[in-house]
Amino acid sequence: MKKPIVNYYYTENGEEDAYLFNKGINEKSYEFLGAHKYIEDDKETVRFVVWAPNAKYVNLVGDFNDWDDYNLPMKMIGETGIWIINVFGVEEYDSYKYRIVTKNDEIKYKADPYAFHAELKPKTASKYYDLKGYKWNDKRWLNKKKKTDIYKSPMSIYEVNLASWKKKDNGDYYSYVELADELVNYVKEMGYTHVEIMPITEYPFDGSWGYQTTGYFAPTSRFGTPKDFMYLVDKFHQKNIGVILDWVPVHFCKDDFGLARFDGTGLYESQNTYEAENEQWGTLNFDFRKNEVRNFLISSALYWHDYYHIDGIRVDAVAYMLYLNFTGKDIKNEDGGNENKEAVSFIRELNTIIFKNYPNTLMIAEESTAWPNITMPVELDGLGFNYKWNMGWMNDTLKYIKLDPLFRKDHHDLLTFSLIYAFSENYILPFSHDEVVHMKGSMINKMPGEYSEKFDSLRLLMMYMYGHPGKKLNFMGNEIAQFDEWNEWDSITWGVLDFEKHVRYKKFISELNNFYRKEKALWEEDFDHKGFNWLEVDNNKESVVIFERISDKGEKLICAYNFTPVLRKNYPIGVDKEGTYSVVLNSDMQKYGGNLLRNKAYKTKKEEIHSKKYSIRVDLPPLGAMFIKMKQKNRR
């Protein structure tokens, strides 16, 4: 046991940082608050700084003073509500908390909201950790990213939960370092361009999947240290894979060691209990009216870019922020409306600051309503995100694909309606974790029909997704067609790869991703009408849709889909030019689990179809999809 340390002092130069934090304009408040190495007059200490404006007293307790309640009293900087102390002899990985005495003389032991590292659950203390010193090897990736137009680039995202992607035989987690081999190589093998990691900001309960956070500046210690997580991101970048983090600025958990009633009052949450309580999740909502709370959250988003080189943030549950009454509460703003004006202001400020510092990052809104201009720049009265999940497309498409094919003809609009609004925002098409949990069933089990037909339908669905305008996102397990619904306590059911159908489906997804990355027509004009043209939109009787995707230079890819188990032989498709057209990707190939050994080539006829001078007649496979491209002109 260490000898208690009482050697400390109070630095006098935190006033400006405290002032900026109170004003809500200390963008990098993580360099001030929290625990930091501090050198003054050649003396090295660790400076601890915490915001607790309504506390009567604050003491620092930890390994370095044998958790003595009294011998490290903190001092408030003026009337800023910010407490400070410099302590000698603190060592890396030392655990600590703040002992807060409230105005009602209640005693709380709180983890540091700005801690960079935390004890492994079920322990709850913060750990002193120096983030500096990691040697990055991703310069080539960062330079490439600066030159990349993210809107005119392929984006196929693999969404992953690190705790349940794969577990060891004894049930232990893979560490960040182990995942840097296992997960990185797998994502590369499967052809994805990005990985999206479900929240790893420190959280106490596995069952929350990370969405109920206690540490907004600490990657969870479940998988290792902060520098271990840097190593994982670094390895992704070395394989040319971008890293997106889920981030939760809506609410936080009520655990007593966390942010809840931090200084004995509603500090990070509203003082109004009715407004603060989030009954749906059993959490507390952030109060966006407070400068310090906005500063805390914006600093968190900036921090992950600064220290971990991440390539984007997916902001969770944006609708819960935008609407005061989204959860059914009767809350109005001062104008009598239900818009949360403070949250709107926060979101615009967040995106403005992030893009000022990182112009090529991804700021993705998970927003489920028709709130306008989500991806419009702030200066044009938008919210300032550059991407939005297309929840409408996801809901309509899954509702359609789950229908017995016999009845799809009566619901054709579920398949086509999304193109009315497809270019109103910059969309990502998501088949996320939310669609394969809570009794919703796995993706393969959403498909009607017998065993083989389920696989046919799933390949068809995926080719429809990849042909449709918008970037792509798929949750782990979807790529192997696991039959089990996602269970956060277990691994993906990798055992299905003992069966041929699943192996062939996995090969299909890998080749679909690789084809997608190479085919510019599928992503260069995702957000403009000129990148899309309907050929067959009204054939509900046969449940066939056909459209063209078009690249910047006018190169066209025909995307043809047959949503019934009936072969559509000699189906006419209009084309612009005379020549020979080849099927460049077919969901019905035997190597993917279908029926065909090889694809056909089709020569044009001078027959006007779909307002085109020429046409080809193709065999549309049952429950199948084809991508078709002109290969050569006829010789005269």
- Global pTM reads 0.95
Same domain flag for 321 and 270: yes
> What's the average model confidence in pLDDT over 83-87?
97
Same domain flag for 67 and 178: no
The CA-CA-CA angle for residues 498, 508, 630, to 5°, reads 160
Same domain flag for 287 and 353: yes
Same domain flag for 163 and 284: yes
| Residue 6 confidence class, pLDDT cut points 50, 70, 90 | confident
Q: What digits encode the pLDDT tens for the residues 390-425?
A: 999 999 999 999 999 999 999 999 999 999 999 999
Q: Are 400 and 410 in contact (CB under 8 A)?
A: no
Does 227 reside within a domain?
yes
With DSSP H G I counted as helix, E B as strand and the rest as coil, what are the percentages for the chain, rounded to 5? 30, 25, 45
Please count the other Cβ atoms lying within 10 Å of the Cβ belonging to residue 67: 15
Same domain flag for 162 and 116: no
Confidence (pLDDT) at 42 = 86
Same domain flag for 257 and 348: yes
Same domain flag for 121 and 230: no
Domain hosting residue 298, numbered range: 158-386
Q: What digits encode the pLDDT tens for the residues 498-507?
A: 999 999 999 9
H or E, element range at 233: helix 226-238
Task: Name the catalytic one among 138, 263, 311, 316.
Answer: 316
Number of domains present in the structure of the chain:
2
Q: Give the whole-number percent of the chain exceeding pLDDT 70.
A: 98
Same domain flag for 266 and 186: yes
CATH number at residue 12: 2.60.40.10
Q: Are 618 and 584 in contact (CB under 8 A)?
A: no
Does 52 reside within a domain?
yes
Does 88 reside within a domain?
yes
Task: Name the catalytic one among 17, 263, 277, 366.
Answer: 366
Same domain flag for 224 and 273: yes
Q: Is 366 one of the catalytic residues?
A: yes
> What's the average model confidence in pLDDT over 528-556?
97
Does 547 reside within a domain?
no
Confidence (pLDDT) at 327 = 80
Integer Cα distance of 218 and 516 in angstroms: 35
Q: What digits encode the pLDDT tens for the residues 300-348?
A: 999 999 999 999 999 999 999 999 988 888 899 988 899 999 999 999 9
Q: Are 468 and 506 in contact (CB under 8 A)?
A: no
CATH number at residue 293: 3.20.20.80
Q: Is 538 one of the catalytic residues?
A: no
